Amino acid sequence: MTNIFEKFNSLNVLIIGDVMIDSYIWGKIERISPEAPVPVVRVTKKENRLGGAANVALNIQSLGACPYICAVIGDDSDGDNFLSLLKAQRLSNEGIIKIKTRPTTVKTRIIAHNQQIARVDAETERNLSSSNTQLVLNKIKQIIADHRIDAIIFEDYDKGLITEELIDKTVKLAKEIGIITVVDPKKRNFHAYKEVQLFKPNLKELREGLKIDIDPLNIDQIEQAVERLKKQLGAKTVMLTLSENGVYVSSVSGNKHIPAHKRDIADVSGAGDTVIATTALCLAAGLNEFETAEIANLAGGLVCEHVGVVPIDKARLLREVDDL
């Protein structure tokens, strides 16, 4: 696999999706508040990290490839902070659009004694206006024209950047040029991703999208649900992530269930970002969907060993792949 991992270094990936700041407040709990029955957190550290689609970009970067993000932020201090974080990570801001009428998404996690005790979200979930969607489409076309793009990732967090119009026009453009499209979906646009290369829902998203109950241990139920989804979307491959039960892959080449590897799980935050980033690069590097799922499954498990959202360690992933 060393040659494949080296090939990542020559790949360019466009990530279209909802970006955010993952803000962390670390502290200690030593007493209960006299004002209300809640713990008092004595702050020991604060940290801001790139989140959402920007964390996908960090994973692409960590794997050696070059990411380009196309997203919107607010024309606010949090937006300025986001751009500073991009610069600090040496990530391009050429696809970032500031919009005055929207706030920058910030998710603040409060962590004490290695456990997340609360999360505070500042955001909007309104869809972009048609005129702002056109601005994003223009950015997408510009990036594709200026750079050789090997794969496009839709990283959908239901925050309003990705609309049906954006999906339809971008997928058509990608098909015309021959660019791989992979999707990490959410509920709102679940059925809008027609004819993409790979669609990667988790079990909760599949249940909500198809409005059916699915037993994660019943492979027959999973197979039937995934086949139904694949036909509805016209997707070449569906890769269903099943958390501790691994991943299930279905394509024209067949079906395969890949069990999870045993891990000391500290935090599942950001694991989906790692999986979709690894998936896009493996497909773009020429691996088939089953080899891709094996490696992406490993990558997702590895980042769960860390508290907070962190990108994948390429060298460690390669060692684990070589041990398969």
Query: DSSP letter string over 228-254?
Result: HHHHHHT-SEEEEE-GGG-EEEEETTE
Dump pLDDT digits (tens) for 233-249.
Answer: 999 999 999 888 889 99
Structural tokens at position 132: 């702002």
Mean pLDDT for the stretch of residues 183-197: 95
The pLDDT tens digits of the residues spanning 22-58 come to 999 999 999 999 999 999 999 999 999 999 999 999 9
The rounded distance, in Å, linking the Cα atoms of 58 and 306 is 15
pLDDT at 313 over 90: no
Residues catalogued as catalytic? 273
How much of the chain, in percent, has pLDDT values that exceed 90? 79
- How far apart CA 170 and CA 77 sit, in angstroms, is 30
**Dihedral-angle region of residue 16 (phi above 0 means left; psi in -120 to 50 means alpha; beta otherwise):** beta
Distance CA(284)–CA(141), nearest Å, equals 20
Q: Would you say 140 and 68 are in contact if contact means Cβ atoms under 8 Å apart?
A: no
Name the amino acid, one letter, at 308.
Answer: G
CA 75 to CA 146: how far, in whole Å? 26
DSSP character at residue 266 = S
Residue 303 scores a pLDDT above 80 = no
Phi-psi region of 149 (alpha: psi -120 to 50; beta: other; left: phi over 0): beta
What confidence tier does 114 reach under pLDDT thresholds 50, 70, 90?
A: confident
Helices (H), 117-218: 130-146, 164-177, 203-210
pTM: 0.92
Q: Give me the pLDDT at residue 243, please.
A: 82
Q: What percent of the chain has pLDDT over 70?
A: 94
CA 113, chain centre distance (Å): 27
